[in-house]
């Protein structure tokens, strides 16, 4: 019998070679959205006059911030525990929080927490674990974050002398580009973003760059979509902004030249929306 001239090939599942499958890095899965606060029963609210007054004043000052610009604040110093509890319940916790540490050994720090109403911030200063100041600040972002970043600016960036450390190749050139941008940047300009994720940067390059840019005292965390960590450097208007997915893996690593990254700030539309929602909540509280 002669050989069959056409090779026999099997078909069907498992008969074909498997192709490589693209393995994508998991992206952020959850997104924070507005949730109305769980308010106490009316009889629990009736006697909390000081809390109601502080919330009413916050609504008024938020309106002034929208119409006239600039930040406004309402002091909560001296309020009884029950009134503070109602305010905590109404404001809740939003997407953005921040920590500002002080220089020296006095263990003083400033904690910032955005409420569920974007643009309505709780700003608490502590010293040795004791609350020194407690305020509600109304505006796009608490002024202390910008002021501290300006105070952290050094006169000049350190210059490296001699041969570069091992595996440091691209950082010096990139730092020159960033320095040119912060010297040219003016208030009102869009942020200049350097995407380190897309550049051939080694771990040593990143460390070399961070060492020369320095690290300031402002740490901001945003949880709007995934997690974002923002720190100020010791150079003018220069920030490190790193995005993480839900597995805490870096998905975007950037340097931004701007007064403050947009991801840490509320927009005007946010303040307008917060004004309406806070007004509705306050009406319920006052009716109670």
Query: Is the dihedral angle over the CA atoms 190, 196, 198, 199 positive or is it negative?
Result: positive
Task: Give residue-wise pLDDT tens across range 90-110.
Answer: 999 999 999 998 766 567 899
Give the model's pLDDT for residue 283.
86
Find the mean pLDDT for residues 268-288. 88
- Show the tokens assigned to 216: 């300031």
Give the model's pLDDT for residue 190.
93
Q: Which of 257, 253, 258 has its CA nearest to residue 241? A: 253
Say which range, 7-21, 90-104, 269-283, has the weakest mean pLDDT.
7-21
Q: What percent of the chain has pLDDT over 70?
A: 82
Looking at 69-142, list the stretches that DSSP marks H as alpha helix, in order from N- to C-terminal side.
81-91
Task: Give residue-wise pLDDT tens across range 214-239.
Answer: 999 999 999 876 799 999 999 999 99
Alpha-carbon distance of 134 to 76, in angstroms, equals: 5
Say which range, 53-62, 156-165, 167-176, 254-263, has the weakest mean pLDDT.
156-165
- 133 and 78 in contact (C-beta within 8 Å)? no
Alpha-carbon distance of 113 to 136, in angstroms, equals: 10
Give the model's pLDDT for residue 10.
53
What angle is formed at CA 55 by the lines to CA 49 and CA 58, rounded to 5 degrees? 140
Residue 136 β-bridge partners: 74, 122
pLDDT at 4 over 50: no
pLDDT at 38 over 80: no
Give the model's pLDDT for residue 286.
73
Domains in the chain (CATH in brackets) are 42-141+266-287 (3.30.1370.140), 148-264 (3.30.1370.140)
Tell me, yes or no, if the pTM score tops 0.85: no
């Amino acid at each position: 019998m002669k050989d069959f001239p056409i090779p026999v090939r099997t078909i069907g599942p498992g008969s074909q070679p498997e192709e490589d499958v693209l393995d994508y890095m998991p992206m952020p899965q959850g997104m924070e959205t507005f949730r109305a606060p769980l308010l106490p029963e009316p009889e629990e609210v009736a006697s909390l006059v000081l809390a109601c007054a502080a919330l009413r004043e916050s609504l008024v000052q938020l309106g002034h911030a929208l119409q006239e610009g600039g930040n406004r604040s309402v002091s909560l110093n001296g309020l009884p525990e029950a009134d503070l509890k109602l305010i905590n319940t109404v404001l809740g916790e939003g997407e953005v929080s921040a920590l500002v540490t002080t220089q020296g050994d006095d263990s003083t720090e400033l904690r910032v927490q955005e409420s569920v109403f974007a643009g309505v911030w709780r700003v608490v200063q502590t010293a040795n674990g004791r609350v020194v100041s407690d305020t509600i600040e109304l505006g796009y972002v608490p002024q202390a974050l910008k002021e501290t970043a300006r105070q952290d600016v050094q006169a000049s960036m350190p210059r490296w002398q001699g041969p570069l450390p091992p595996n440091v190749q691209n950082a010096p050139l990139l730092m020159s580009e960033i320095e040119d941008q912060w010297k040219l940047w003016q208030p009102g300009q869009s942020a200049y973003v350097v995407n380190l994720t897309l550049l051939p940067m080694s771990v040593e390059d990143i460390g070399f760059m961070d060492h020369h840019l320095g690290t300031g005292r402002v740490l901001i965390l945003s949880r709007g979509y995934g997690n974002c960590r923002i720190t100020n450097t010791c150079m003018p208007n220069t920030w490190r902004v790193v995005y993480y997915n839900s597995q805490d893996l870096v998905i975007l690593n950037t340097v931004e030249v701007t007064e403050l990254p947009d991801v840490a700030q509320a927009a005007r539309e946010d303040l307008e929306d917060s004004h309406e929602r806070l007004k509705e909540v306050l009406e319920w509280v006052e009716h109670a």
